[in-house]
Amino acid sequence: MSIDDFEETNTDQAFMKNSLYGRANEMTYGGALSFLRRKYTKDLTGVDIAVSGIPFDAATSFRPGARFGPKAIREASVQLAELLAYPDGIDPFKTLAVTDYGDCELDYGLHDKVASQIEAHATKIIDAGVEMLTFGGDHFVTYPLLRAHAQKHGPMALVHFDAHTDTWPDEGGRLDHGTMFSRAIKENLIDVKHSIQVGIRTHNSNTKGVTILDAPWVHKNGADKVTKKIIEAVKDRSAYLTFDIDCLDPAYAPGTGTPVTGGLTSAQALSIVRGLGSLNFIGADVVEVAPAYDHSEITAIAAATIAHDYLVLRAKQKMSAK
């Protein structure tokens, strides 16, 4: 291969890539910043999973800034795009067709339309038979995403990593990043009996009957037992994974809107996610990355790695199904 050929095939893969599969060793410090250097496209033909961002943070109760989360997660994914997946050494993109669909278009001046715009954005992708991996934005964005997924899958088992239950009362139609799961339960979007929340460490008497493995329980019992409990709870139900980055302790994820001390380590979280390969996932999101409060991109790197490892998990499931 000549130097000219190398430049043609390995530069700006987000735009230049021809196939939905495979990978190239693009410069980690340059090039177009799609997630994991996947191709930017609105064409969903042959796509298994579409990555999309929801840059919205007007529903947060404390520090804003998660609207910049999708951009930060994409940028933090460059090293993960370069190397084979740890610890298995596999290339998930040999079997899994993943594209970057770009971000959901939202009008910052019309907040009353945001939920319907997100739902319509997600519905278009889901109706094409494509799974979504979505980046927030604050955690409110999971509510319209669940609405879109429920149209196809019905009530879903929620596998929810967070410092907060997000089931506070929603009287008067209140919707923010702490009440949206109360609304989702009322609308029968969530299969409460088979849902589970991990890493909780804020008090809320309105648990809505969801099984909770709080942060002290995780620290006492370890990642393997957490994984086992999640699998036991979800069983064979269609499952949606939502990972609020504030599930991690602020030492591992300072760049978020509502940090709470005493949380999971990044190693614990990755171990748990990697162990969930027996579940029937139909979608996932990673939310609440607020890069203005981050240090050396450690929050964004954690979020990108969680999302990357979810794709590896889905690739393994596709390989084993063949």
pLDDT for 175: 82
pLDDT for 72: 98
- Residue 274 and residue 290: Cα distance in Å, rounded? 24
- Residue 88 and residue 31: Cα distance in Å, rounded? 27
pLDDT for 22: 86
pLDDT for 15: 78
**Distances in whole angstroms, Cα of residue 141 to Cα of each of 5, 36, 169, 285:** 42, 22, 18, 9
pLDDT for 1: 42
- Residue 309 and residue 13: Cα distance in Å, rounded? 21
- The domain segmentation of the chain, as residue ranges, is 3-24+35-321
**Nearby residues of 96 by Cβ (< 8 Å), 6 or more positions away:** 21, 48, 49, 311, 314, 315, 318
pLDDT per residue over 256-297, tens digit each? 999 999 999 999 999 999 999 999 999 999 999 999 999 999
**Nearby residues of 171 by Cβ (< 8 Å), 6 or more positions away:** none
Name the token pair of 203: 């008090």
Look-up of token digits 């339309």: 113
Name the token pair of 319: 């390989």
pLDDT for 240: 98
- Residue 37 and residue 128: Cα distance in Å, rounded? 22
Contact present, 174 and 213 (Cβ < 8 Å) = no
Residues of the chain with pLDDT under 70: 1-9
In terms of Cα–Cα distance, which of 114, 169, 171 is closest to 143? 114
In terms of Cα–Cα distance, which of 181, 191, 203, 124 is closest to 157? 191
In terms of CATH architecture, what is 3-24+35-321? 3-Layer(aba) Sandwich (3.40)
pTM of the model: 0.94
